[in-house]
Amino acid sequence: MTLAFPDAFSLKGHRALITGGGSGLGLAMAHCMVAAGAEVIIASRNEAKLIEACSTLGPNASYIVHDVTDFDRTCDLPGVIAETTGPISCLVNNSGGTAKYPVDEMSLRDFQNVMDTHVTGAFALVSAFVPQLETQNSPSILFTASMSSFLGIPNVIGYSAAKSAYVGMVRALSTELAPKSIRVNGIAPGWVDTALSRTALSTDPERKAKVIGRIPMGRMGDTEDIGWAAAFLTSQAARYVTGQILAVDGGALHGF
């Protein structure tokens, strides 16, 4: 064997940039990747959250304040990061946001804001970082997709369109970047126990029961379920995995 356990799952020697890394799934990914040996740089617009998050991550974590819709600054980001912490070998596109409206009430601006945050922001980051990634050992790109990439969920057309775009981006980029030895994959989380989901379900017990009832494993996911999936997909254990969307949803896509 050219790889052995547990070294195949180690991220030692890797440095990852995780957008939306100050809380929720992004922070969980950061914790799991640090535990696997990686250095992480977490990014978001909220510096206070980033500082608090770094205090829980330990010495192998740093942060950078960045708005993924600031496309001009994104172009400069690889150079800034290379000078301050060193080049990255893993890019995690995890920034998110949504606007919940019926389609006939959603403004074009609201729709465009969601698309800019998810799709255009991710494109700009990938475009900017590919030259840096291809110089690194075992580089990879990861997208946080969603069940909304595959299911028709009402009143979130912008979010659903953006997350569906991630599926296409993963497939297209995986074939384009394979000759550069850059792997590209995605994770499609189901319902995960985060502050956002707890808020969404806390006032509607009937909806919560309906959600849980549609998950074959009978519970919502933990954030670390997503974090460990990210650690796996960016490790050497997944060195022959590219162009895939890994559903981490307790079987929900098959239980609906």
DSSP per residue, the chain: --S-TTGGG--TT-EEEEETTTSHHHHHHHHHHHHTT-EEEEEES-HHHHHHHHHHH-TTEEEEE--TT-HHHHHHHHHHHHHHT---SEEEE---------TTT--HHHHHHHHIIIIIHHHHHHHHHHHHHTTSSS-EEEEE--GGGTS--TT-HHHHHHHHHHHHHHHHHHHHHGGGT-EEEEEEE-SB--HHHHHHHHT-HHHHHHHHHT-TTSSPBPHHHHHHHHHHHTSGGGTT--S-EEEESTTHHHH-
Q: What is the 3-state secondary structure (H, E, C) of 1-68?
A: CCCCCCHHHCCCCCEEEEECCCCHHHHHHHHHHHHCCCEEEEEECCHHHHHHHHHHHCCCEEEEECCC
Supply the pLDDT for residue 256: 55
CATH topology for 7-247 is Rossmann fold (3.40.50)
**Whole-number pLDDT of residue 114:** 95
How buried is residue 17: exposed, middle or buried, by Cβ count under 10 Å (0-12/13-18/19+)? buried
CA atoms within 13 A on the CB side of 42: 32
Task: List C-alpha distances in Å: 12 to 28, 33, 181.
Answer: 18, 9, 19
How far is it, in rounded angstroms, from Cα 10 to Cα 15? 12
Taking only the tens place, the pLDDT of each residue in 216-231 is: 999 999 999 999 999 9
Domain ranges of the chain: 7-247
Active site residue 63: no
Q: Which one, of 221, 246, 230, lies nearest residue 26 by Cα?
A: 230
Of 63, 101, 159, 240, which is the active-site residue? 159
The token pair that represents 185 in the structure block: 């994959």
Rounded Cα gap, residues 78 and 133, in angstroms: 10
Mean pLDDT by 10 residues, the chain (256 residues): 90 98 97 99 98 98 98 98 98 90 93 96 99 98 95 89 98 99 98 83 83 92 98 98 98 81
